[in-house]
């Protein structure tokens, strides 16, 4: 544990060092494989890898975590601010008196630091929350990375977009969008992935169309 806790730095390097260490002590690598899977899922968001680090010595203050924990910082030349932290805690419901183990994950913001950060950005305000305009969902779990890619493209065009991260079926996602007053849904499958069009649905009118992404933007703007 002492050796593992000292591993901190670039993910690819740390994963290799951790694999060697676990192998040397004949320790099962299941938890490391889970962490690698989480890291790989970040590739779909096209994040700058220089801003992602692995720290196997990180320890959150609360002891009910059962898997990955994380912290998110904002760095500038003067100060490093921790804005958010959280992790996986499948045992929390039981420890609070629940009747069965419940898969769970969550996070919390450091509100004072977040307020300071937002106050320094003239174009942001804590009071200008706006609802989600588009829900992007895949037909199967294999479509997740593709749905994230489409969502990121729409976000860069200025739209407020959410993706399904818990694996609901299409009917469940439509119901979710309706309950949360999300007016538009984009449904993706491997078939759409082969081309350039997506299935766009207006929940208010029930209209469905196979559209190019720029056509989706026009439909949202004009609806």
Report yes or no on 106 lying in a domain. yes
Answer yes or no: do 70 and 99 share one domain. yes
User: For residue 218, what is the domain's CATH number?
Assistant: 3.40.50.800
Report yes or no on 26 lying in a domain. yes
Answer yes or no: do 161 and 206 share one domain. yes
- Tally of structural domains, the chain: 3
Specify the pLDDT at position 131: 75
Specify the pLDDT at position 123: 57
Answer yes or no: do 106 and 71 share one domain. yes
* 58-114 pLDDT tens trace: 887 777 888 899 999 987 756 788 899 999 998 888 888 888 888 899 999 988 888
Domain end (from 33, 57, 81): 57
Sheet holding 69-75, edge to edge: 69-75, 80-88, 105-109
* 165-195 pLDDT tens trace: 888 999 999 999 999 889 999 998 766 566 6
Which domain range does residue 180 map to? 134-222
* 147-167 pLDDT tens trace: 898 899 888 888 889 999 888
- Do 18 and 32 form a contact (C-beta atoms < 8 A)? yes
Specify the pLDDT at position 212: 84
Specify the pLDDT at position 77: 58
Answer yes or no: do 38 and 87 share one domain. no
Report yes or no on 129 lying in a domain. no
pTM for the complete prediction? 0.60
With a CB cutoff of 8 Å and minimum separation 6, the contacts of 168 are: 137, 176
Domain end (from 103, 124, 145): 124
């Amino acid at each position: 544990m002492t050796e593992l806790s000292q591993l901190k730095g670039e993910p690819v390097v740390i994963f290799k060092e951790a694999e060697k260490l676990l192998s040397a002590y004949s320790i099962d690598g299941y938890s490391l494989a889970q962490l690698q899977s989480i890291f790989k899922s970040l590739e779909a968001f096209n994040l700058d890898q220089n801003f992602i680090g692995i720290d196997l010595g990180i320890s959150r203050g609360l002891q009910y975590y059962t898997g990955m924990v994380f912290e998110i910082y904002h760095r500038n030349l003067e100060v490093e601010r921790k804005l958010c932290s959280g992790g996986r805690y499948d045992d929390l419901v039981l420890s609070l008196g629940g009747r069965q183990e419940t898969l769970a994950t969550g996070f919390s913001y450091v509100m004072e630091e977040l307020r300071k950060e937002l106050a320094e950005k003239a174009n942001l305000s804590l009071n200008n929350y706006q609802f989600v305009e588009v829900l992007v969902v895949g037909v199967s779990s294999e479509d997740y990375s593709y749905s994230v890619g489409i969502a990121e493209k729409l976000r860069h065009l200025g739209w407020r977009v959410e993706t399904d991260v818990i694996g609901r079926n299409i009917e469940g996602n439509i119901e979710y969008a309706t309950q949360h007053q999300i007016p538009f849904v984009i449904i993706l499958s491997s078939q759409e992935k082969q081309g350039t069009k997506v299935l766009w649905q207006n929940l208010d009118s029930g209209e469905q169309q196979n559209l190019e992404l720029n056509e989706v933007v026009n439909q949202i703007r004009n609806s």
